[in-house]
A and B are shown apart, each in its own frame.
Chain A
Amino acid sequence: MDMFSRIIKYITGFIIIFLIQYICNWLVKSFNLILPAPILGLIVFTFLLQTNVIKKEWVKDICKFLLKIMPMLFVPLLVGIVVYYSVIEKNLIPILVNVILTATLTLFITALIVDNIIKFIRLQKIRKFHND
């Protein structure tokens, strides 16, 4: 019986997510939105969970499962890079340097700024506390 109810939960969860995807696909197509359907779906889904229109327990299992397999879903896309290799080949060095430097700088600058602001705000709070 327990097994059965779990399977039902998976199926209902998947149907909910699939419906959101379907509706968002339709919205993006008919209103020519620049936002891709899955991202719009992500925003809508979070909103519906937040407002309790969708109960968290309905979708918990399926979400955990989908997120667990998510890294694997990228494999076919990564294999696809080979097909476009000829497009990169002409400008291989500039592209690689650009990719590596941009990603590294973005990582460092974003992380340092966020980290230091968090520390700064904490410090301010401690000072305020001591002054009071």
Chain B
Amino acid sequence: MINIWGLIYTVLLYEFALWLKKQPHFNFINPNVTAGLILILILYFFKIDYTKYNESACFLTLLLGPATIALGYPLAENIDLLTKNKRAIYSGFLAGTVTALLTCYFLGKIFHSDWQLIVSLMPKSVTTPIAIEISKAIGGIPELTACIVALTGIYGAVFGHKLLKLIRIKSDISIGLAIGAASHVLGTSSCIERNKPKQVVMATLALIIIGIVTSLICILLF
């Protein structure tokens, strides 16, 4: 037998979570977080090692590269969005990068966290592969960074749209850019789920450009 039980469980649970989301009282759930939580419980109760699960589900992780590249398709189709709203978009990139880094730094200082922790937290609004490289380069703990990047992504994917609704932001450009800036690819995937191509494009742009700018700033400053 080929070792793909992890893959099958993941796909089935994800489909289940999608189905659950369509039920009246469960529309608040986030499919991938729900599927992830159920899987964690299954692994815990049956005492299955995470590495074993990961090996049998590695096909999914391997597809993340091609899926990220595929984001280029909506980007190429809507590239005129970038030229139309130049000033607003560039200010958004700058605001997103600076806010994320400064808030992280000052909160770290307030909690008297040690330097290594602050540095590991710094690149958390950036997509995982970039964040890990930054963390390594400025003396953080890459594993910790990877974990916190995922937490930030989940937070943005689950609450991003709701929080923005709260402050009455309605334009797709602002929503997409803010979500891409705050919660990278996971946030972008939440825009895909909502079927908003303009938001996906802005989020994709934000995650690329903010990723590059953040890595430059971090490596130059620290």
Q: Which residues of A contact B (CB under 8 A)?
A: 14, 17-18, 20-21, 34-39, 41-43, 45-46, 49-50, 56, 59-60, 62-64, 66-84, 87-88, 91, 93-115, 117-118, 121
**Residues B148 and A94 in contact, CB atoms below 8 Å apart:** no
A70-B76 contact in complex given A91-B117, A94-B117, A113-B92, C-beta closer than 8 Å? no
Residue in chain A with minimal CB distance to B111: A94
**Residues A107 and B182 in contact, CB atoms below 8 Å apart:** yes
Tell me how far the C-beta of A66 lies from the nearest C-beta in chain B, rounded to whole angstroms: 4
A18 to B68 alpha-carbon distance, docked (Å): 11
The residue from B111, B169, B177 contacting A97, defined by CB atoms under 8 A apart: B111
Chain B residues with Cβ under 8 A from A45's Cβ? 69-70, 72-73, 76
**Residues B71 and A42 in contact, CB atoms below 8 Å apart:** yes
**Residues B66 and A75 in contact, CB atoms below 8 Å apart:** no
A114 to B88 alpha-carbon distance, docked (Å): 5
| Total contacting residues, chain B, CB less than 8 A | 107
Interchain Cβ contacts under 8 Å between A and B, 5 examples? A21-B66, A88-B147, A109-B99, A110-B182, A114-B174
Residue from A45, A64, A91, A102 with most neighbouring chain B CB atoms (10 Å): A102
Known: A34-B133, A39-B127, A79-B36. 15 other contacts (CB 8 A): A41-B72, A42-B204, A66-B70, A69-B67, A73-B63, A76-B6, A78-B32, A78-B33, A88-B147, A98-B107, A98-B111, A107-B163, A111-B164, A111-B167, A113-B95
Chain B residues with Cβ under 8 A from A114's Cβ? 88-89, 91-92, 95, 171, 173-174, 177-178
3 tightest A-B CB contacts, nearest first:
A36-B129, A45-B72, A78-B36
A112-B167 contact in complex given A38-B129, A102-B103, A106-B103, C-beta closer than 8 Å? yes
A83 to B57 alpha-carbon distance, docked (Å): 16
A71-B31 contact in complex given A77-B150, A106-B182, C-beta closer than 8 Å? yes
The residue from A42, A80, A91, A109 contacting B72, defined by CB atoms under 8 A apart: A42
A95-B152 contact in complex given A35-B212, A76-B61, A117-B87, C-beta closer than 8 Å? no
Chain B residues with Cβ under 8 A from A64's Cβ? 73
Tell me how far the C-beta of B44 lies from the nearest C-beta in chain A, rounded to whole angstroms: 8
Tell me if B146 is interfacial: C-beta within 8 Å of chain A: yes
